[in-house]
Amino acid sequence: MNIDMINAAALRLAGHARRTPLLSSPFLDEIAGRRVFVKPECLQHTGSFKFRGGWSAVSALPADIRARGVIAFSSGNHAQGVALAAREHAIPAVIIMPADAPRMKIDNTRALGAEVVLYDRAGEDRDALGARLSAERGLTLIKPFDDPEVIAGQGTTGLEIAEDAAALGITNADVIVCCGGGGLTSGIALALESRAPGLRARPAEPEGFDDVARSLTSGRIERNARTSGSLCDAIITPQPGDLTFPILKRLCGPGLVVTEDEALHAMCLAFARLKIVVEPGGAVALAAALFRPDEVTGDAVIAVASGGNVDADVFTRALARFQI
Amino acid sequence: MNIDMINAAALRLAGHARRTPLLSSPFLDEIAGRRVFVKPECLQHTGSFKFRGGWSAVSALPADIRARGVIAFSSGNHAQGVALAAREHAIPAVIIMPADAPRMKIDNTRALGAEVVLYDRAGEDRDALGARLSAERGLTLIKPFDDPEVIAGQGTTGLEIAEDAAALGITNADVIVCCGGGGLTSGIALALESRAPGLRARPAEPEGFDDVARSLTSGRIERNARTSGSLCDAIITPQPGDLTFPILKRLCGPGLVVTEDEALHAMCLAFARLKIVVEPGGAVALAAALFRPDEVTGDAVIAVASGGNVDADVFTRALARFQI
């Protein structure tokens, strides 16, 4: 896992993934007490950075293997990213989703051309179901984060951050990344190590689901007590990955932890000041940039808004509460 | 007024205005029955394309004239665009706003460093007030649309559309533009004439405020019966400008007219499918692209989302109504 793989992924993604800009607002700078930039991956195809990793992994497969199709487990953003990447490669995609996943996410994944297979979280073994389908049809499993080509795809986000930061004259900044399994954070960290050594990647997580922050502190993989029950569902995973954690440990600064309320508040500020739609889990990094200024060490801060797939009712309830 | 002025404005704006991407969604393509691209100028500094024209006009002034400061009349987006352009040039800005303008827009304009002078719409003569202040302080008036350097600045949006359309292989498309006084539409039309002759600029307006569409039909400047009372307030003007109308007449296809409800619906679809925040007036072009497919002639359609300065309550009421 190295920068060459990220560069190769960037070549494969060129003309397919969207090149997202860096956004900013003087109003956010004032709250944070320093310059704040936001990388809006909510504007990426399918509404999250997951399309990058999905495309990278699908496009890296040998043509004959790829033609048989891919399979993924996901209740959300990874599902849609893989589904669209498969459709654009004109190959089949099977997405195994929990039957109680949000209806809209199931519908969207189907609308993107994937075959959605629902399973009962309580009574069925997801992994066994996936293994059977893979074997029967010769499908290749695309993991959500612990896969080198997925990490390489997410890392292209870091190449763009490095390029845009250089153009803005930013040479010393914290790059805060919403962190679940660590695919995006580790990919960005590798890209920055090579292209922008004055920029440090730092994971951000919601309170109660801070497995990565705790793992970085203890030096070994720690688990969350719970893996559900947060509005930040998009970035909730049991623990950092076996591939991602060594990269995080070697390259990333201390983790940042924010409350769910702070994430919702950041979501509302992104609405009012940046005119982007960010989901709660995707707003965790911006929340850390705005509300943990004493823990940020850079002259500037770059927060990745990792996704925007939020239901209208969650969004409107937050707007009513934090209206500015 | 020609392409050279737009090219010169682009050079002055480089590194200051934000380069906005083209966004798309297969879900929007399906509604429209053709490929739909959106140019999200809501992501521009100050939340609308107006920053381009403001920066262009301020930066084009001779240094000694500019140093004395600028003045503008506006209740909304032009106010903020000029205020930020002035602040970044370190010169004074006076913005004359109606006392009953939305509090948030007044606060934002002040927060961007401008001196806000409020007047009573009923009892005071806005133009006389502006003339007195200009004379006393030597301020230069920055008009909202009927000014060559303002049109040139807005036209840089068209240069970017031409460049991105070429990269996407789009050679035949309608470029639908939310149209008030015609500064943005005429600027884009001039840019496309020179850089992308297969792309046609077409103004879009809300029902009841379709002065430009009617003027294009009759061949002479027509007025609106009303100039207030629409949620699409950002693009409501009495009539096309003396400078903009001849350009619109020479270069633009027939105008498109949508209902306020269609604009609100398009605003909700932009939330759900593109993850951007668009104000009602800024959603008129996307509404035309989606809901007037029989009036669009191109293989593809590019809709400019001109601004995103919408109050949370208007936004949430629309989401509740059109929830998808």
Token pair 């909304």 is found at B76
**Strand ranges (DSSP E) for B65-161?**
70-73, 93-98, 115-119, 140-141
- Per residue in A129-170, pLDDT tens? 888 999 999 999 999 999 999 999 999 999 999 999 999 999
| pLDDT over 90 (residue B147) | yes
Q: Which of B22, B73, B26, B24 has the alpha carbon at shortest distance from B50?
A: B73
CB contact (8 A) between residue B112 and residue A275: no
- Point out the domain boundary residue: B114, B141, B168: B141
A148, A61 contact by CB (below 8 A): no
| Cα–Cα dist B13/B7, whole Å | 10
Residues B23 and B64 placed together within one structural domain of the fold: no
- Per residue in B32-73, pLDDT tens? 999 999 999 999 999 999 999 999 999 999 999 999 999 999
Residues A275 and A184 placed together within one structural domain of the fold: yes
Q: Flag whether residue B269 sits within 8 Å of chain A, measured between CB atoms.
A: no
- B-chain CB neighbours of A40 within 8 Å are 43, 275
**For residue A244, what pLDDT is reported?**
97
Q: Give, for A57, the enclosing helix (H) or strand (E).
A: helix A50-60
Mapped onto helix, strand or coil, the DSSP state of residue A267 is helix
| pLDDT over 90 (residue B283) | yes
What is the number of other CB atoms lying within 10 angstroms of the CB of residue A237? Answer: 21
Q: Which of A175, A145, A217, A166 has the alpha carbon at shortest distance from A38?
A: A175
Of A15, A19, A324, nearest to B21 by CB-CB distance is A19
| pLDDT over 90 (residue A302) | yes
Q: Flag whether residue B118 sits within 8 Å of chain A, measured between CB atoms.
A: no
* pTM of this structure: 0.96
- Point out the domain boundary residue: A141, A158, A182: A141
Of B26, B275, B278, nearest to A43 by CB-CB distance is B275
ipTM of predicted complex: 0.95
Give the CATH number for residue B16: 3.40.50.1100
Strand partners, B117: B96
Q: Which of A253, A220, A241 has the alpha carbon at shortest distance from A150?
A: A241
Q: Return all residues near A188 (Cβ < 8 A) that are at least 6 apart.
A: A154, A155, A157, A158, A161, A175, A177, A201, A304
Residues A8 and A118 placed together within one structural domain of the fold: no
B 7-46 → A contacts, CB under 8 A: 15, 18-21, 23, 26-27, 40, 42-43
**For residue B324, what pLDDT is reported?**
67
CB contact (8 A) between residue B26 and residue A323: no
Please list, residue by residue across A245-276, b when 16 or more beta carbons sit within 10 angstroms of its beta carbon and e when fewer do. bebbbebbbebbbbebbbbbbbbbbbbbbbbb
Tell me the shortest Cα–Cα distance from A215 to chain B, in angstroms.
33
- Cα–Cα distances in angstroms (integers) from residue A317 to residues A264, A320, B266, B319, in the given order: 10, 5, 21, 11
What single-letter DSSP state applies at residue B6? H
Residues B120 and B151 placed together within one structural domain of the fold: no
B43, B51 contact by CB (below 8 A): no
Mean pLDDT throughout B185-191? 98
Residue of B104, B275, B276, B319 to mutate when probing chain A, most A C-beta within 10 A: B275
Token pair 């190449």 is found at A159
| Cα–Cα dist A211/A245, whole Å | 11
CA-based R_g, chain A, Å = 18
Residues A186 and A44 placed together within one structural domain of the fold: yes
3-state helix, strand, coil in chain A (%, to 5): 50, 15, 35
Residues B19 and B66 placed together within one structural domain of the fold: no
- B-chain CB neighbours of A265 within 8 Å are none
What is the number of other CB atoms lying within 10 angstroms of the CB of residue B249? Answer: 16
B251, B201 contact by CB (below 8 A): yes
Q: Give, for B304, the enclosing helix (H) or strand (E).
A: strand B300-305
Residues B164 and B108 placed together within one structural domain of the fold: no
Mapped onto helix, strand or coil, the DSSP state of residue A93 is strand
| Cα–Cα dist B25/B29, whole Å | 6
Of A21, A112, A276, nearest to B21 by CB-CB distance is A21
Residues A123 and A266 placed together within one structural domain of the fold: no
Please give the share of chain A, as a percent, with pLDDT higher than 70. Answer: 100
Q: Which of B302, B287, B282 has the alpha carbon at shortest distance from B201?
A: B302
Residues B267 and B316 placed together within one structural domain of the fold: yes
Q: Which domain holds residue A98?
A: 51-141
A27, B111 contact by CB (below 8 A): yes
